[in-house]
Amino acid sequence: MAELGFHWPSLVVYLVNFTALLIILYMVGFKPILRVLDERSRRIQESRDQAQVLQEESVMRQGEMDQQIKDARKEGQAVIEQARQAAQRVRDGEREKARQEADSFISKAQAEIQRERDIAVDELRREFGDLAISAAERVVRRSLDKDLHKDLIEQTLTESDLLEKDGK
Amino acid sequence: MSAKNVFRALGLSLIALFVFGFVIGAIGSALFGGSPFLPTPEVHLPPQPVFESDAHEAHELHKLPSRFMLTNTILSSLIASVILVGLFFFGTRNINADARPKGLHNFLEFIVVSMYSFVEGVAGRGNTRRFFPLFATMFLFVLMNAWIGLIPLYQSLGFMNDGHFERHLLRPAGTDLNMPLALAIISFIFVEFWGIKTLGLSYFGKFFRFGALLKGRIFEGLIDIFVGVLELLSEFIRLISFTFRLFGNMTAGEILLLMTAFLVPFVFSLPFYGLELLVGFIQALIFAGLTLVFVTIAITPHHDGEEGH
């Protein structure tokens, strides 16, 4: 072995050299680099977790927003419906009022016409009575008792009215 | 001058240098007469002392004295260690997770991450942290000691005596039997330590397999005992295989470079330098990788034959 270079003290030196190098490299090199790598991995993991949380929160918020929009739409439709019903009620009321006014106007007009007609009929009857008496006086050449004959004429006219109505 | 012409000029220069080296080298000298450009290389397997008094004593004893002395391989190993520590010290100063890694820090981080991934792939995520420092130090130490010898003029430094080259000042530590042996011993210690620490006394079960024999299965029991003895032997044989694999490869590489430079100086050695770069990397990976594999095997619970496997 000595020919190959085996040497106890050198072996011990190499053992010490390597052990010391192992410790120093671990303290000076590997440990700091691994610490930095761990820290970086931790941050990346944290960022990933945070992104996950934000995504979940965003999905939740989106859901809430959708719900709010849905509620608002429903509420809006209810308001529109209420407004429509109110408008309908107002329209019906106005229509009813207008109809009542028109009916009242027509009734008044009809009453007026009736009254005018009654006046005209009375006028005509009166004139017709006078005319009939005058005509009869001319036929009989004497004066007639006006009051007496008037009753007769009235009766005749009434009968003629009745006949007229029956004829219709 | 275009790039094509530059390459052409460079190629012609290399060819001319090769021809020149061939003529003045050992082969050319033998063919054309004259003495070779370089003296005949002498291969010394044992390391040489750095100091004159130690060298004188070693010369008289025809071997290294049995006491501590600074040899050229130990000096080289110390330089390699200092370079590694220096690289990591300056590369990891003031590092923090906020700053973007750049320069030496970035390079070291790349190396550490690559080695870490390798350890993770072999030993599993749970064991990476405790095995990584040993693997990484072993890999870097072997690699640095292999590559440091390829630095131009590194092995040309030495001491002259009466006009002839007496001893080298620096020699790669891988060519000293003691360095691979020391690493093999450390590998052995860690393998056994982690095996016992993880499995407790059951770790020794793979060496002493008496289960089948005690249950009356004689043939199977004898085979188990034989396998156990082989396992036990292989633990110690690893010391030898680890040592001589690295020592042989590093020494052969050195001799190869010496001989190529002697036969045809200058250009002819260049491809072999490239080869030695690769050999250094592979040997470092094999040494550290095998240690990692053996450690991983050591901490894996084993099952005796009587369990039906």
**pLDDT of res. B72:** 92
B154 and B299 assigned to the same domain: yes
- Tell me what percent of chain A is helix, strand and coil, each rounded to the nearest 5: 90, 0, 10
d(CA B149, CA B166): 19
Find which of A4, A6, A7, A46 to mutate to test the B interface (most B CBs within 10 Å of its CB): A7
**Contacting residues of A for B77, CB less than 8 Å apart:** 14, 17
Taking CB atoms and an 8 Å cutoff, what residues of chain B touch A33?
Answer: 92, 95, 108-109, 112
Per-chain mean pLDDT for chain B: 89
Within this chain, do residues B87 and B28 fall inside the same structural domain, yes or no? no
Q: What is the pLDDT of residues B197-234, one digit of tens each?
A: 999 988 998 888 888 888 888 888 899 899 999 999 99
pLDDT per residue over A108-155, tens digit each? 999 999 999 989 988 888 888 888 878 877 777 666 666 777 777 777
Number of domains in chain B: 2
3-state secondary structure of B296: helix
In chain A, which residues have pLDDT < 70? 141-146, 161-168
Residue B285 above 90 pLDDT? Answer: yes
Give the other-Cβ count within 10 Å of A41's Cβ: 11
**pLDDT value of residue B304:** 55
Whether the CB of A27 is below 8 Å from some CB of chain B: the reply is no
Q: Tell me the ipTM for this assembly.
A: 0.90
Would you kindly state where each structural domain of chain A is located, as residue ranges?
Answer: 7-167
Same domain, B119 and B212: yes
Do B33 and B66 have their domain in common? no
Contacts of B250 in chain A (CB under 8 A): none
| pLDDT tier for residue B308 given thresholds of 50, 70 and 90 | very low
Tell me the CA distances in angstroms from A40 to A146, B171, B291, one per residue in order.
137, 41, 30
Asked if B90 is an interface residue toward chain A (Cβ–Cβ < 8 A), one would say no
Structural domain of residue B6, as residue ranges?
A: 1-37
Average of per-residue pLDDT across B24-31 = 87
B132/A30 Cβ within 8 A: yes
Residues in chain B: 309
Q: Do both B18 and B77 map to the same domain?
A: no
Q: Across the interface, which of B45, B109, B178 has its CB nearest the CB of A14?
A: B178
Count the residues in chain A: 168
| DSSP codes, A47-95 | HHHHHHHHHHHHHHHHHHHHHHHHHHHHHHHHHHHHHHHHHHHHHHHHH
- Is the CB of A5 less than 8 angstroms away from the CB of B116? no
Kindly state whether residues B71 and B134 are assigned to the same domain.
yes
Looking at the fold, whether B134 and B152 belong to one and the same domain comes out as yes
- The C-alpha atoms of residue B185 and residue B179 are separated, in whole angstroms, by 10
